[in-house]
Amino acid sequence: MEPTRQAPPKMPPRPVRTLALDIGGTGIKALILSATGKPLTERARVKTPRPATPGAVLNTITEMVNAQGKFDRVSVGFPGVVRRGVTITAPNLDGNWRGYKLADVLSKKLGKPIRVANDADVQGYGAISSQGVELVITLGTGMGSALFVDGRLVPNLEMAHHPFQRGRTYEELLGDKARKKIGKKKWNKRLVRAIRTLEHLFNYDRLYVGGGNAKKIVVKLPSNTRIVENVAGLLGGIALWRD
């Protein structure tokens, strides 16, 4: 009698790993996320090259990625307006990002599917509760903003370049340059004024304040405000793959 052949036991498919990248004006951050969005690696951070041209930034990313281990797809938070994988603005990087097909170029370079969104939008996904109107601002080199209604994003909200006081914009008054110029105390006071203005404008249920300079906040903020750890800018990357 022929021995019955047993099929080899089926290995469960390896859970998908997402490489999350957060391109900032000062640093580029990376880590790998599990299928459920939990970090699987330590966050890596390198300085953003200057000038921050597409070529220089992509080379830096490629070097970083090699040290991160295996991944199946990539989420990118980009510090400017992004439409369908194409970067439209990049106020704190370089003029050559206008109309740059970031998703296509990086996908070819890394050989993996890529999704790109504005950095504050990604940070927001990593922070919100998906209930009601939620506004997110990020304080770093620039000022990011993102608006969500019951978890649905209004993409590319650009509060940064709107006038806030005496014709000067939120980013001019609250960005890293301003913080260094006027010092912690004044910057904190300005932030409180900005939050009051935003609250009247958006009438949100909650405000999240993230970005690298959120740790420089020393004042008490209104009770509907939460400070978010900057790693949310990477953790939110998993949301770009929810269809």
Interface residue with ligand BGC among 37, 54, 79, 236 (CB under 6 A) is: 79
Measured from the CB atom, the residue of 74 and 160 that comes closer to ligand BGC is 160
134 belongs to the binding site for ligand BGC (CB under 6 A): no
For residue 153, give the amino acid letter: L
Residues 243, 118: contact at Cβ < 8 Å?
no
Per CB under 6 A, 120 contacts ligand BGC: yes
Report the residue number, 41 or 96, with the smaller CB distance to ligand BGC: 96
Compute the radius of gyration of the chain from its Cα atoms. 20
Is 138 one of the binding residues for ligand BGC (CB under 6 A)? yes
Q: Is 30 in the site for ligand BGC (CB under 6 A)?
A: no
**Interface positions, 80-109, toward ligand BGC (CB under 6 A):** 80-81, 89, 91-92
Task: Write down the residue that tokens 């997110």 correspond to.
Answer: 136
Helix, strand, or coil (residue 178): helix
- By C-beta, is 23 or 33 nearer to ligand BGC? 23
Q: Which two tokens stand for residue 191?
A: 């932030």
Which is nearest to 236 in space by CA: 93, 134, 89?
134
Check residue 22 for interaction with ligand BGC (CB under 6 A). no
- Please state the length of the chain: 243
**DSSP secondary structure letters along 76-111:** EEESS-EETTEE---TTS-GGGTTB-HHHHHHHHHT
Q: What is the DSSP letter of 128?
A: -
Cβ 116 to ligand BGC shortest distance, Å: 12
Binding mask 156-185 for ligand BGC (x = CB under 6 A): --x-x----------x--------------
* Chain contacts with ligand BGC (rule: CB under 6 A): 79-81, 89, 91-92, 118-120, 138, 140, 142-144, 158, 160, 171
